[in-house]
Structure 1
Amino acid sequence: MKKLKVYHIDAFTTEQFSGNPAGVVLDADSLTMNEMQKIANELNVSETVFLLKTEHKEADFKVKYFTPKEEINFCGHATVGLSWLLSTDLGWSEKAEQIILETNIGLVPVKWNKDGKGVTSVEMTQVAPKVKEIHLENSKIAEVLGLSTHDIDDRYPIKLASTGNWHLLVPVKTQKAIDSAKPNFKKLAQLNENYNIDTTHLFTFDTDEKDNDLYTRDFLPALGVDEDPVTGAANGALSGYLVLEKILDPTTRHQLKIAQGHAMNRPGTLDVTIEPGEDHPIIKVAGAAVVTIEGTLNLQSPPLVKV
């Protein structure tokens, strides 16, 4: 019987039962892809990350991400949860300034932000942001999302954006309108599958709290999860979109505070830094986390087949 350390970690929050819960499984080298998928389904959070050894010369670890339904290339909040665990409970913040994770989309550095008392947040540098066109009528996307066409903010384009996963970015006029969205998840899943989209991400600059710069919601029914509370990958892609589309000045350093999760009663915040780069904007997404559950997974060995 395999015994594996398993954690439930709330990311992008400093309080338990807020933010976005991620499953974290350590020492996963002995697991098959099928076992990882079954474990992710058993833990039944939006994403579970598995920590493995790496053969990449520049990386410290290799990671795999799974929803309850399938493997995905990258997950921001699971990266924050895992990195928080490594930096605090497992002592990596005393060994190094950062770790580098090998993912399906490339290397992702994660550094620790500290004060005199210890680690305050972990900050991941995401891969180069990209945007591309998608031709969808406002009325169609509004209908699928359970919004009125009037709710769509046509000052900004509806586009696809990525820092590893493709997200459909939908500008909405107000936080109230975003919170009122009631998607038809069957139709939204079909739309996302048709366009090879991982999630549909609603955003607005009109926030209820003055400390926040943006407010968002994220839906991913095609991946087996209707809504994700606080999303590092989608908000990283959104941040890249804002400068690539010149909604924000691409020559200036920006620091954004993004709020999410309120509609699910799991509020959380992300601190995003956007820095001009030679070839592309550099997107850094930071947040704290809380270890909520720690346990042991007893994985039974398959029965021997008699010949």
Structure 2
Amino acid sequence: MPKFKQVDVFTSVNFKGNPVAVFFDADNLTDKELQSIANWTNLSETTFVLEPTNPKADYRVRIFTPIDELPFAGHPTIGTSHAVIQAGLVKPNDDGIIVQESAVGLVSVKVKDGGLQFKLPFYKHEIYDLNSDLIKGIIKSLGSTTEKVKRVVLVEDGPRWLTIQFNDGEDVKELKTDSTSLIQISQKSGLDGFSCFGKFSANSHDLIDQSLTYEARNFVVFGSYVVEDPVCGSGAGADSSLLAEFEDFEGDLTIRQGRNLGRNGIIKVSVTKQQNGDNSRTIYVGGNAVTVLDGNY
């Protein structure tokens, strides 16, 4: 029988991160069967491991939510990489790197400091007017005010996140969504994902190490309901790309996420400038992962 693992991502403690179900040997499953399994697990994402079609890849992955397929997502990439390495299906090269093939192309995943980090495949930015009625309505639906917000940028890095940078991490922790209003706005605007983050002040008790520490929360509208993602890798990538682009950030930062849901996810991000003259950045998003369930299907 083919095997599966359920992996908790962005944590080293069971049940404190974001789970992903990883199903091996999925080459013979139809699209309908893949979607049916993802609907049944009812997790934010379920992944399926297949033989690669690109000779440079170690494996291929398809990523499904309960209702559709995603071209790329962060915590499923970390969780799937952890699962295939643990299962002995893939061995990192001498530089500690494996290569994942997904719908967005090849994604490098590096084993580092006992965890894993993926290279953000790409990112695109579109600036939104903070004083527009649309943004005011969204921020109000999130339970906050524009006075607490620094900037708003639509970031596409696989998913499309309307990324809202708050002035303080405490403001992010205090968000309380008006689901009905947020759904109505999303249906009219076509925006379906909201990545909210803010930096803690230097004297905050929430600082956990010497690197820059941020609080993040991600909200997704699925049809008639709003879901808060416990810990979100692509959201962390979107947040970090905004800092890199608009604040010229370079270096390491730590993002905490999930505490409003009883989780305690820790995401480590590294941003480096490229030496090619175009001021582009390379962004790595990473963290720990642990296998919680191990079985067959």
Once residues 108 and 95 of structure 1 are traced to their aligned partners in structure 2, the CA distance between those partners, rounded to angstroms, is 14
Task: Write out per-residue CA displacement over residues 202-252 of structure 1, whole angstroms, 9 at most, x where no aligned residue.
Answer: 10012642225211000112377601111111111111111111x134xxx
Structure 1 stretches of 5 or more lacking a match? 115-119, 298-307
SS at match of 2:222: helix
| Alignment of 1:243 onto 2:237 | no
User: Which residue among 116, 121, 131 is the counterpart of 1:122?
Assistant: 116
Task: Write out per-residue CA displacement over residues 30-78 of structure 1, whole angstroms, 9 at most, x where no aligned residue.
Answer: 1111111111111111111111112112212211111112111111001
TM-score (norm: length of structure 2): 0.87
Quickly say closer, same or farther: Cα 1:294–1:186, change in 2 above 3 A.
farther
Once residues 196 and 287 of structure 1 are traced to their aligned partners in structure 2, the CA distance between those partners, rounded to angstroms, is 31
Paired-residue identity, %: 30
User: Which residue among 73, 80, 99 is the counterpart of 2:78?
Assistant: 80
User: Match for residue 214 of structure 1?
Assistant: 214
User: Match for residue 100 of structure 2?
Assistant: 101
Structure 1 residue 180, shift from structure 2 partner = 2.4
Structure 1 residue 191, shift from structure 2 partner = 3.5
User: Match for residue 288 of structure 1?
Assistant: 288
User: Match for residue 54 of structure 1?
Assistant: 52
Once residues 94 and 105 of structure 1 are traced to their aligned partners in structure 2, the CA distance between those partners, rounded to angstroms, is 21
User: Match for residue 113 of structure 1?
Assistant: 112
Once residues 99 and 83 of structure 1 are traced to their aligned partners in structure 2, the CA distance between those partners, rounded to angstroms, is 8
SS at match of 1:68: coil
SS at match of 1:286: strand
Quickly say closer, same or farther: Cα 1:23–1:296, change in 2 above 3 A.
same
| Alignment of 1:255 onto 2:247 | no
| Alignment of 1:188 onto 2:188 | no
User: Which residue among 166, 171, 194 is the counterpart of 1:172?
Assistant: 166
Structure 2 stretches of 5 or more lacking a match? none
TM-score (norm: length of structure 1): 0.85
Please, what is the CA RMSD of the aligned residues?
Answer: 2.1
SS at match of 2:128: coil
Q: How does 1:189-204 map to 2 (within 5 A)?
A: 189-204=183-198
Q: How many residues align?
A: 283
Please tell me whether the aligned partners of residues 4 and 294 of structure 2 are also in contact (alpha carbons under 8 angstroms).
yes
Please tell me whether the aligned partners of residues 185 and 226 of structure 1 are also in contact (alpha carbons under 8 angstroms).
no
SS at match of 1:86: helix
Please tell me whether the aligned partners of residues 173 and 204 of structure 1 are also in contact (alpha carbons under 8 angstroms).
yes
